[in-house]
Copies of this chain bind each other. A is one copy, B any other.
Amino acid sequence: MANVEAKVFPIEVLREFSTRVFRHFGIPETDAAQAADVLASADLRGIDSHGVARLTSYFDLLSEGLINPKPKIKILRSTPSTASIDGDNGLGLVVGPQANEIAMNMAAKAGSGWVSIGNSNHFGIAGYYALKALERDMIGMAMTNSTKLVTPLWGAERMLGTNPIAIAFPGKDEPPIVVDMATCAAAYGKIEMARRRGESIPQGWGIDNQGRGTTDPDDIVAGGALLPLGSDRERGGHKGYGLAVMVDVLCGVLSGANWGPFTPPFALRQEIPARSVGKGIGHFFGAMRIDGFIEADEFKRQMDDFIRVFRATKPAPGTNGPLIPGDPERDAEKVRSKQGVPLIMPVVDELRVISKKIGVPFS
């Protein structure tokens, strides 16, 4: 955030504003509060790109009638531990939590629950869903596919979304381990930030529209693409590509949603896919009862040991040693829940535009 002018807002102000914006479109009270909670969680956890910074995109899609404000989700198929769900083109922020709940309820009865959901829209941060399982002594998993931005290794065009994977494991006295990662090398937000600052980007982040590696962020924006985690063949770019494919199949193909380059765009200004191969975008949720494998308390004690052992790793020069996955988000949450959430001015201005349009106050 350094060098970029920002204004700080208490999280409750952002939560209240989001809720009222969603309410404006006739989204029921509980659903609106739920959707606002997912966005607030991203803002608190420091994942700025996925919080209220996205409210304008949701606002636009709702304004255009492209998202159903009152979805009735439908279970298409199920077994005791699996289900596919049609999200009725609702907000991912509403449909996602409902589907995740179904996965956890299945796990409560059958030991595990695995739900693939199609006909949905962007669902916020994957970590939000994985964390929910911890409240029920379960291991939680969440994935989603998304608009094309990433090239397969050896490709020269956008074919896959940033397709994140999240998984959470509880500790006992230690905080949980929360892995929450896109399957590309670097986030698109970092490209935009470098561009705004006129800086070049590291090798391995992206390609230009001819498929050549580039360090110019403009090249990526102008028809280039992000590279998968691992970047090139030598450093394992085929692995990041494989993970992105896995997410796309579990979320898209398995649920009957769109996949690959046909995943619909999140923002109105983005390119419309060449064809439709399913409905909306897709998510995948998993929950497993810890005591379906081992006594939950024993598991958590081992996790505490695990976390302490990894914190005690000999540090690389110039570092304080390894973090535990989830540390940076936890640190952000500690600070922001007290001191508020800094929003860069372009985001503040966008929210003011919404405020003026629909008459919901925003200071």
Contacts and interface: CB of A to CB of B under 8 A. Distances in A.
Interface in A319-338: 319-323, 325
Contacts of A83: 292-293
A94 to B, nearest CB: 21
A14 to B, nearest CB: 27
Contacts of A342: none
A175 interface: no
Nearest to A256: B294
Interface stretch (A2-10, A36-44, A61-69, A229-237): A229-237
A158 to B, nearest CB: 10
Interface in A204-249: 204-205, 207, 210-212, 229-231, 234-236, 238-243, 245-246, 248-249
| Copies of this chain assembled into the complex | 2
Interface stretch (A21-29, A300-308, A346-354): A300-308
A204 B155 contact: no
A293 B255 contact: yes
B236 A313 contact: no
A15 interface: no
A294 B155 contact: no
A275 to B, nearest CB: 10
A294 B112 contact: no
A181 B236 contact: yes
A32 interface: no
Using C-beta atoms within 8 Å of the partner chain, give the interface range for chain A: 35 or more
A155 B80 contact: no
A291 interface: yes
A43 to B, nearest CB: 21
Interface of A: 76-84, 110-112, 114, 116, 139, 151-157, 159, 167, 169, 177, 179, 181-186, 202, 204-205, 207, 210-212, 229-231, 234-236, 238-243, 245-246, 248-250, 253-256, 259-261, 277-278, 288-294, 299, 302-303, 305-306, 309-310, 313-317, 319-323, 325
A316 B249 contact: no
A294 B254 contact: yes
Contacts of A114: 111-112, 288, 292
Nearest to A327: B238
B316 A154 contact: yes
Contacts of A320: 154
